[in-house]
Each structure stands twice: as structure tokens, then as C-alpha cells.
Amino acid sequence: MTCRHASSLLEDYIDGDLSGELADRMRVHLESCNSCRIEYHRSQHLRTLMGRIASPDPGSTYWSEIDDLVRAKTSERAVWSVAPSASSKIVQAARGRILRSALSVAFSSLILLSAVLLGSGGLRVATEPTEQGETIMVAASVQDYLSRMSPLLYTVHDYRRLARGINLVGPPGFSSRLVAVIESKSI
């Protein structure tokens, strides 16, 4: 075996890919040829060094996070079927436009409502019952409303009831207001 031939077979020899006879010839050559033997040791040393390129374990916290992340991403994708074809992109773009329009209308309505409420003397909040057992109403500013953090916004029906002299008690909601109305009427 020539050195040139041995050199071309060296990596396969180290990998164990050579057939029995060829491997034997290679072994004999390496025993007798100093330069090929040096090359053989270099190759083996390289394998050892490569094996030392570590991959750290990021820890159990990371692994449990990965499970959760993959689960979240896959369920999200299943719902929205993210494998965007041309048609689904168009549908998604249309969805985006509709959503933007709806948000814009909602925001404008909110501003308008705030202006109306401010113009009509502020928002109203319900107060504690007085010592006499009556329920009274007070006008409050927007700041007052925000600071109390327990808003009872009146509906159109509430205003009608108030106009008829019916006091409103309880938290917002149709059923509680209804009870209040019945109680007031029974009084």
C-alpha cells in the first residue's frame, strides 16, 4: 500500500468502515510508515478535541418552560391554522382591517361618551345609605369617579327611573337594579 492510498483511506479506517482485508493492510502500513502514523494520531486527536465541544444542559427549569412554550405555540397555531397560503393571508389581512375599524369606532364612541358625560355635569356614583335609611344620589366629577374605583355608570333606564324619583342601589347590573326598583316601589 502506498502512502497516498493509505492517506485516502485513513478516515474510513478510523471510522471502522474498511473491510477486513483492507483494514489489515492499513494496519500493516501504519506500523511501518512513520509519516502516515503521525497523520493517523493527528486525526485521532482531532476526534478527541471535537468530542470536547460541550453542549451545556440549561437545566430543568428551561426544559419545563420549553414544554409549555411548544404546547402554547402548537395550540395557537392549530386554532389559527398557520400555514399561510395566499388565500389565508388575504383573509388575515381582511380580519386585521375589520379589527382596526372596530377599535377605531369603539375609541371614538368612548371619547364621545366621555364628552357627553362631562358636559352633563359629570358621572354619578351611588353613596352609602343615610342614617334615615334613605338612599341619596350625588353628582361626581370624572376624577371622583376614577378615584373611587367603584363606578356605577347609569344606563338610560337608570336615568328614567331617577327621573321618576326611584332610588337605585346595589352594584351595576340589570338584576340588582331591578331589585332596587321593586324595593323602591314597595316603599
Partner 1 sequence: MSKQLPDLVKAFVEGDDEAFDEIVRRFRKRIYSLAFRLLGNHLDADEVVQETFVRVYRRRKELSNVKYFSTFLLRVASNYGIDLLRKRKGHSTMTEDATGLPGQVQLDLARQIATPREDFENKRLMEEIVAAFDQLPPRQKLTAILHDIEGYTKAEIAATLECPEATVRSNLHIARTKLKKMLKQRLKTRE
78 versus 163: smaller Cβ distance to partner 1: 78
Number of Cβ within a 10 Å radius of residue 21: 8
74 versus 127: smaller Cβ distance to partner 1: 74
Q: What are phi and psi of 124, to 5 degrees?
A: -115, 145
Q: How far is 87 from 68, CA to CA, in rounded Å?
A: 31
User: In this structure, what C-alpha cell is assigned to residue 177?
Assistant: 337594579
Task: Provide the minimum distance between the beta carbon of 176 and partner 1 in the complex, in angstroms, as a whole number.
Answer: 42
Grouping H, G, I as helix, E, B as strand and the rest as coil, residue 114 is: helix
Task: Provide the minimum distance between the beta carbon of 44 and partner 1 in the complex, in angstroms, as a whole number.
Answer: 9
66 versus 179: smaller Cβ distance to partner 1: 66
Task: Provide the minimum distance between the beta carbon of 72 and partner 1 in the complex, in angstroms, as a whole number.
Answer: 10
Can you give the binding site for partner 1, defined by CB under 8 A?
11-12, 15, 17, 34, 37-38, 41-43, 45-47, 49-63, 65-67, 69-71, 73-75, 77-78, 82-83
> Taking Cα atoms as reference points, which of 47, 50, 36 lies closest to residue 3?
36
27 versus 71: smaller Cβ distance to partner 1: 71
56 versus 133: smaller Cβ distance to partner 1: 56
Q: How far is 184 from 41, CA to CA, in rounded Å?
A: 100
Residue 177, Cβ density class (10 Å: 0-12 exposed, 13-18 middle, ≥19 buried): buried
Q: How far is 55 from 140, CA to CA, in rounded Å?
A: 64
Task: Provide the minimum distance between the beta carbon of 30 and partner 1 in the complex, in angstroms, as a whole number.
Answer: 12
Task: Provide the minimum distance between the beta carbon of 8 and partner 1 in the complex, in angstroms, as a whole number.
Answer: 9
